[in-house]
Amino acid sequence: MTTLPQSTHKKLGLAIDLDICVGCHACVINCKEWNTSNYGAPLSDQDAYGAEPVGTFLNRIHTFEVKAADKPAQTVHFPKSCLHCDDAPCVTVCPTGASYKRVDDGIVLVNESDCIGCGLCAWACPYGARELDAAEGVMKKCTLCVDRIYNENLPEVDREPACVRTCPANARHFGDFADPDSNVSRMSAERGAVPLFPEQGTNPVNRYLPPRPKADIQTDGDIDILAPFLDTGSAGKSGSSTGSTSTSAKGLLGWLDKALEAI
């Protein structure tokens, strides 16, 4: 049924830390690996070894450059998967009832045996979280690894989404946003996390923790900020100016310099 529930008992979702993500794409790979071999149709690739490979992915990492005037540019790696919105427009547009939001935990899923592959739900999603699989003709999306998180055949430590389990930087966190004391709720409150693209009125469950402010680097015109640390001689003895590399090194480096010179 494509009518959205009034409210859900839990709000399972992800808190994604944009400050920590290093853009390694490990979550992309583990997501694809788990979801191509478990619940639902596989995530197919076309022309996988050819000139123009394309394929279905439920999780994609964009890398942005952010530049404020008078500041150095900064890089933000931006993982993007389904945000399991409370007001999910992808669910209500579905003509067959294949798309639905679960009352128990708020996960948005597709019943693939009802999906006619019209693609309207992908059009309705502002985040690009749904992809029509070219081989199966059904809509694929993040299931929040529904076949892992409740799976008692797995060790307890593995009962979280594949992307969260695999992230080497710990940038992705899984939890219940309906519980104000959950890890993800506390994290979101502390870091001032905001819903993504609120102009679209989707009320997403997932939260993005914004990049922390960068410390401003004072260069005083000297671009080599490591220079002060390269002066290995005892302070005051050397006649050379501090804060820059001198041509005649002292101490260990000086010995090395002389030794290498002698060879």
Partner 1 sequence: MHPAPSVIVFTALSGLGFGLLAFLGVNVPDVTGMTAFIFFFIAYALAVGGLIASTFHLGNPQRALKAFTQWRTSWLSREGVFAVLSLCVMGIYAACLIFLDLRLPVVGIIGSILSLISVYCTSMIYGQLKTVPRWNQPLTPVLFLVYALTGGALLSGQVYLAAGLMVILAILQYAHWTIGDGRLKAAGGTIEAATGLGHLGKVRLLESPHSGTNYLLREMAHEVGRKHALKLRVIALLCLGVLPCALLLLTAPGHLSALLAIVLHLVGVFAARWLFFAEAEHVQALYYDRHRAA
Judged by the rule CB under 8 A, the positions of this chain that interact with partner 1 are 1-3, 18, 23, 28, 52-57, 60-69, 71, 73-76, 78, 80, 89, 91-98, 114-120, 122-128, 131-134, 136-139, 194, 196-197, 199-201, 208, 210-211
* Closest to partner 1 by CB, 213 or 221: 213
Using alpha carbons, list the distances in angstroms from residue 145 to 41, 82, 160, 179: 14, 11, 7, 20
* Closest to partner 1 by CB, 53 or 228: 53
**What is the spatial distance between Cα 72 and Cα 16, in angstroms, rounded to a whole number?**
24
Structure tokens at 113: 């045996």
* Closest to partner 1 by CB, 23 or 42: 23
Q: Do 56 and 134 form a contact (C-beta atoms < 8 A)?
A: yes
From the number of C-beta atoms within 10 Å of its C-beta (0-12, 13-18, 19+), residue 50 rates as exposed
Q: Do 118 and 138 form a contact (C-beta atoms < 8 A)?
A: no
* Closest to partner 1 by CB, 121 or 145: 121
* Closest to partner 1 by CB, 19 or 257: 19
Shortest distance (Å) from residue 62 CB to partner 1: 6
Nearest CA among 61, 181, 92, 163 for reference residue 173:
163
**What is the spatial distance between Cα 30 and Cα 93, in angstroms, rounded to a whole number?**
30
